């Protein structure tokens, strides 16, 4: 099973911050971990010049290949730049930009069709968790955001409990295990036994201290990291933690 650490810079970073990517690229030149940095669109071109040993991803893309969509970026544009990964359906896109499961499904479809490694994000709110609806919400997001006829070989699923993002809170290891096992079962039901090879990432306040425990959980194949990925000093320990985790 692939091990993946993806860093989502969100709306952070300027040219001076490319030094952090260079440090990661140099430090982990021989690593077998799939390391992905997703800076803002403005840095992708410059980052591609220095990210020699790691992958670059986009934080979003448009569901159409081209057209009169002012301010948008297409999958074709990303591929043309050499980008290899994309993040689709992040909770901030779903909540702050009103992205529906239907729209997410369209984006996932075009991202996979353009051969991008596609990280689809799913997760519940704090209220949904308190109402014990976590598994219901996750199942609905999977069913509605993934078409049954997609080519899933480049699909990556990230579970990001919305209530944990940026709060420093994380679910208990037993809860992460329950949810990731549930996701694995649902993916196999959707796509067959080969879906057991779809990497599952955990996202939600991952740091160097809690990463070792998280990576020991079954069906956790990596992490989608937010703020900690902006700094070499904070991101590197997370990568080392998964390097030191048994397969």
Residues forming the active site: 90, 160
| 104, 120 contact by CB (below 8 A) | yes
| 157: its two tokens | 């699923």
| 163: its two tokens | 């209530």
Question: What DSSP assignment string belongs to 106-155?
Answer: HHHHHHHHTT-EEEEEE---HHHHHTT-HHHHHHHHHHHHS-TTS-GGGE
| 1, 199 contact by CB (below 8 A) | yes
The Cα–Cα gap between 33 and 237 comes to 13
Nearest to 84 by CA among 22, 27, 151, 38: 38
| 104, 89 contact by CB (below 8 A) | yes
| Residue linked to tokens 């990497």 | 199
Q: How far is CA 60 from CA 10, 27, 38, 57, in A?
A: 10, 27, 10, 9
Nearest to 213 by CA among 174, 181, 162: 174
| 3: its two tokens | 């091990």
DSSP type of residue 156: E
The Cα–Cα gap between 66 and 97 comes to 21
């Amino acid at each position: 099973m692939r091990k993946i650490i993806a860093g989502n810079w969100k709306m952070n970073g300027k040219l001076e911050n490319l030094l952090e990517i260079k440090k990661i690229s140099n430090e982990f030149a021989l690593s077998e971990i799939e390391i992905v940095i997703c800076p803002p669109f403005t840095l992708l071109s410059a980052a591609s010049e220095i990210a020699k040993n790691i992958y670059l991803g986009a934080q979003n893309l448009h569901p159409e290949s081209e057209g009169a969509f002012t301010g948008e970026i297409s999958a074709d544009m990303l591929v043309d730049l050499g980008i290899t990964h994309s993040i689709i359906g992040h909770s901030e896109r779903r909540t702050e930009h009103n992205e529906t499961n239907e729209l997410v499904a369209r984006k996932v479809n075009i991202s996979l069709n353009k051969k991008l490694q596609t990280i689809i994000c799913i997760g519940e709110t704090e209220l949904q968790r308190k109402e014990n609806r976590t598994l219901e919400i996750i199942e609905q997001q999977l069913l509605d955001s993934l078409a049954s006829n997609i080519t899933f070989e480049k699909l990556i699923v990230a579970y990001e409990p919305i209530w944990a993002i940026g709060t420093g809170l994380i679910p208990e290891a037993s809860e992460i295990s329950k949810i990731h096992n549930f996701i694995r079962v649902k993916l196999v039901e959707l796509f067959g036994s080969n879906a057991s090879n779809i990497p599952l990432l955990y996202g939600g306040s991952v740091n160097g201290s809690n990463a070792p425990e998280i990576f020991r959980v079954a069906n956790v194949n990596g992490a989608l990291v937010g703020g900690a990925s902006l700094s070499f000093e904070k991101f590197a320990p997370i990568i080392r933690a998964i390097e030191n985790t048994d397969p």
